[in-house]
Amino acid sequence: MKKIIIIFKFIFLMLIVQSTMATDEPLEITAEKMEWDKVSEKAVAIGNAIAVKGDKTLMAERIIANLDKKDNKQISSLRAIGRVVFLREGEKITSREALYDIEKEMITLVGNVNFLKEDNVMRGEKLTINFSTGVSQLIGGGNSEKVKMRYNTERIEKE
């Protein structure tokens, strides 16, 4: 009986460690050129910039990494500018700009947003995704421009 309890505790501990590791995945940024602004404490990736954290990939002409105000060793957010592409779990989202708040586990994409998943398409002006809650919100543009969605359903053939 003690062996079963010890095995159960070990499995439980491993699950806790795995879930902690999932949120602390490393962030890797690559680009044609990198600049560091010591005064504003920002790193700027310029030219085909790509940031990867776990299953999330953010691509743009320029990505600005903002350091945490409390701990200057941690990146708190990424701002992507120009031809933005965000990839995650079979989804592809394009826009003009994006702000990925790593601490809050949220991304906001702005400007001609196109959200593609399989054959389904949604279009709007601003998309916010909360990775913690799984809630997404797509908003249309000004001048009463509405959000547009094309959703393909599978047709069931009758035999």
Supply the pLDDT for residue 155.
Answer: 52
Supply the pLDDT for residue 7.
Answer: 38
| Angular region, 91: left φ>0, alpha ψ -120 to 50, beta rest | beta
CA distance 129 to 136: 4
> In the CATH hierarchy, which top-level class contains the domain 27-150?
mainly beta
Q: What is the pTM of this model?
A: 0.78
Could you say which DSSP state residue 13 is in?
H
* Least confident stretch, 12-26, 58-72, 78-92: 12-26
In the numeric block, the tokens 């795995």 are attached to 18
Task: With a cut of 90, say whether residue 56 has pLDDT above it.
Answer: yes
| Interval 108-135: pLDDT, tens | 999 999 999 988 999 999 999 999 999 9
The domain segmentation of the chain, as residue ranges, is 27-150
Stronger pLDDT, 144 or 70, i.e. the higher one:
70
| Interval 99-110: pLDDT, tens | 999 989 999 999
